[in-house]
Structure 1
Amino acid sequence: MVTMIGKVLLGPLWLLQLATGAKSFLDNPLIGSRRLNRHGLHLGRTRLADAMSRWRRRRLARDVPPAWREAFDRDGFVVIPDIVPLDQFPALRDAILTYQGPAREMQQGDAITRRMAVDPVMLQAIPALRTLLERRDIVALLHYAASFRTTPLHYIQTIVAHAGSAGPDPQEVLHADSFHSSLKSWLFLNPVAADGGPFCYVPGSHRFTPERLAWEKRRSLADPRAIDRLSARGSPRVTSADLDAMKLPPAQAVAVPGNTLVVADMAGFHARGASVHAGERVEIWSYARRNPYLPWLGGDLLSLPGLAERRVGWLWAFRDRFEARIGQPWRPVGVRTPIDSQS
């Protein structure tokens, strides 16, 4: 419970957060204020973030292959098969799957997620991976989806289904990551079947239509202490009734062969589909989210070569150092390959 003195001291910080991507209705009483939101605070932040994202994307559009850009603009995601030349993909895949390096894991429900940082050591060991991540058409698409010229955080990610104790997996519930656009992408190294934990997305749900904005207004007026914790912290869960109210179709399961790249806007509603059988999904996973109100495209010093590929290690070390205050869900599990048996 924040004391009166604490509120006075934290007040300027809470106010400054309104000009950032801060999204928690629980942690910031201004963001979570039903009084302010009745007067349009959340809706105003959402509208402005959307307008800024669309403005930045217009300036980045010319570098993106038109077919990719059109699919992304229409659906909120784009699926690109055979992204790596067919004569090069087997060697790249084998090099990644047999690479040994420090790994971290997190369990949610009965699924374990393992991540290995794409860091300088990995890039030196697998030069083809660096070449892929620096490919101009891919970089242009990732910039467009992120709406910034920023280098994403890159990982080798493994999802192990039916790996332990049962329980609700929040990743299997349709949700948006935030009230503003951000990037996630997956380059699947193995085929992913419709019943094998596929990426699912509601086509067109990245657009802030009048119906989506009306839904955003309604959710901003809910008591954050009376709804599920993830929604209250700014990652809203949606039901089929919500989709109907927003005139959106059901989620589409993206079943794909290996060597397929999927790039998506995380303002749209998405989830990981259920996996009927035990198994694993391995991918090159990339993520980028910046302050949605910045008017410039670049300016991210941590995207500079020599720094960008070290950020994951720094992030993990920072969370380890301040685990007691901010938490650290990613526990180190030693040196692994992406396809080692889970711990």
Structure 2
Amino acid sequence: MSSTTMRAIASYRGLPIDDQESLQDVEVPVPRLRPRDVLVRVQAVSVNPADVKTRIGLPATAEPRILGYDAAGVVEAVGPETTTLTVGDEVWYAGDITRPGTNADLHAVDERIVARKPVSLTFAEAAAMPLTTITAWETLFERFRLNADSTGTLLSLGGAGGVGSIMIQLAKELTGVRVLVSATRPESQSWVRQLGADEIVDHHHLVASVEEVAPKGIDYLFSPHSRGNIEAFAQIMRPFGHITAIDEPEGLDLLPLKAKSIAWHWELMFTRSIYQTDDMIEQKRLLEAVATLLDDRRLRTTLTTSVNDFSAAGMREAHRLVESGRMTGKVVVTR
């Protein structure tokens, strides 16, 4: 490889993960920097359900499509208008859905969505966190507008997953709400209890199990799986409650929520970078705040599985684990 090319892991079309061609080792040009970019030498990346969904849905393309969102690494170069980071900084971030991904030796990303990584965490421990942390933070503090004085009951569905694993911690550490989560397998239940969940419910019997531990209902609900659940949500929510969803089921009918004046919010952590919003730098700021909480041992990494093989084979293994639907916490691919 010359200094103008680099190794990356890419896909040319959506294929099952057991197909060797679903993710391939390729050589591509080193990315060019935009004025406010940093060039990061990637040390570790995590795989999220968003990565899997993107890979499966890829249309056929002649150009290699580099996937990957979460990353931790070291700044190797900066654009001419960069002011907040410098060469040598160790950073973490969740990437940008409109640009080539992080599954590469080098990655270009806007400084406004990149923060210095927690000093107490390894690159792998840090890479597990950004996308899910931003999703959970924006849900709790921007959609639900919770703060240290907030009370009431929060239900996080899929509590042992990546978003749930950090949402439990943020809610317990930074708000006064009671935290309920759904978890069914024994290892999932053990994990969410370690993270501070107050009560565990069963999403297979959502209404009955919620009524048992929260008879007065739920004030705030986080939903990664909304299809077929709206009637149940309408039953368990209190009047004037708030729901935030991250999925996009077709033809979703929200009318059952109207009688209780329940508010429905969407959360997509890529909105700021897609639209280059005026407050795009808020993602840097929240990652900085969370880095401090991690370094102060008030939060812990959600990394549970490391694949020490930064290649197409290692990445396929990580995707396989996420696709299984049985992951507790997060899986990271590291060098």
Task: Give the alignment's TM-score, normalised by structure 1.
Answer: 0.24
Higher strand share: 2
Instruction: Tell me the TM-score normalized by structure 2.
Output: 0.24
Which structure shows the bigger proportion of residues in helix conformation? 1
